[in-house]
Amino acid sequence: MNTETSFKSGFVAIIGAPNVGKSTLLNRLIGQKIAITSKKPQTTRHRVLGVAHLPEAQLIFLDTPGIHQARGPLSVRMVEVALKVLGDVDLIVFIIDAVSADNASDEIILESLKKRGLPVIFAINKVDLVKKGKLLPLMEEWDAVYPFRAIVPISALNGTQVDELVKEMVAVLPEGPKYYPEESVTDMPERFIAAEMIREKVFRLTEQEIPYGVAVTVESFKERPEKDLIEIQATIHVERESQKPMIIGKGGKMLKRIGEQAREDIEVMVGRKVFLKLWVRVQKKWTQDAAAIRRFGY
- In whole angstroms, give the CA distance from residue 121 to residue 144: 14
The yes-or-no verdict on residue 24 having pLDDT over 80 is yes
Residue 45: predicted pLDDT: 62
The yes-or-no verdict on residue 4 having pLDDT over 60 is no
For the chain, which residues make up each domain, given as ranges? 4-172, 190-295
Q: How confident is the model at residue 14 (pLDDT cuts 50, 70, 90)?
A: very high
The yes-or-no verdict on residue 13 having pLDDT over 50 is yes
- In whole angstroms, give the CA distance from residue 289 to residue 294: 9
pTM greater than the 0.85 cutoff = no
190-295: CATH topology: GMP Synthetase; Chain A, domain 3 (3.30.300)
The yes-or-no verdict on residue 5 having pLDDT over 70 is no
- In whole angstroms, give the CA distance from residue 24 to residue 19: 10
φ, ψ (nearest 5 deg) of residue 238: -120, 165
Kindly state the DSSP code that residue 64 receives in the 8-state scheme.
Answer: -
* Residue range 172-184: mean pLDDT, rounded: 93
Q: Is 182 exposed, middle or buried (0-12, 13-18, 19+ CB in 10 A)?
A: exposed
* Residue range 8-12: mean pLDDT, rounded: 96
Residue 234: predicted pLDDT: 97
The yes-or-no verdict on residue 70 having pLDDT over 80 is no
The yes-or-no verdict on residue 193 having pLDDT over 70 is yes
Decide which of 234 and 6 is more confident: 234
- In whole angstroms, give the CA distance from residue 160 to residue 128: 8
* Residue range 186-213: mean pLDDT, rounded: 85
Beta pairing class for 91-97 and 215-224: unpaired
Beta bridge partners of 234: 218, 278
CATH 3.40.50.300 fits 4-172, yes or no: yes
Q: How confident is the model at residue 74 (pLDDT cuts 50, 70, 90)?
A: confident
Long-range (24+ apart) CB contacts under 8 A made by 48-51 are 48/23, 48/186, 48/188, 49/186, 49/187, 49/188, 50/26, 50/185, 50/186, 51/179, 51/180, 51/184, 51/185, 51/186
List, for residues 235-291, the tens digit of each pLDDT value.
999 999 999 999 999 999 999 999 999 999 999 988 999 999 999 999 998 888 888
> 219: closest CA among 231, 235, 230?
235
Q: How confident is the model at residue 97 (pLDDT cuts 50, 70, 90)?
A: very high
DSSP output for 124-169: EE-GGGS-HHHHHHHHHHHHTTS--SEEEE-BTTTTBTHHHHHHHH
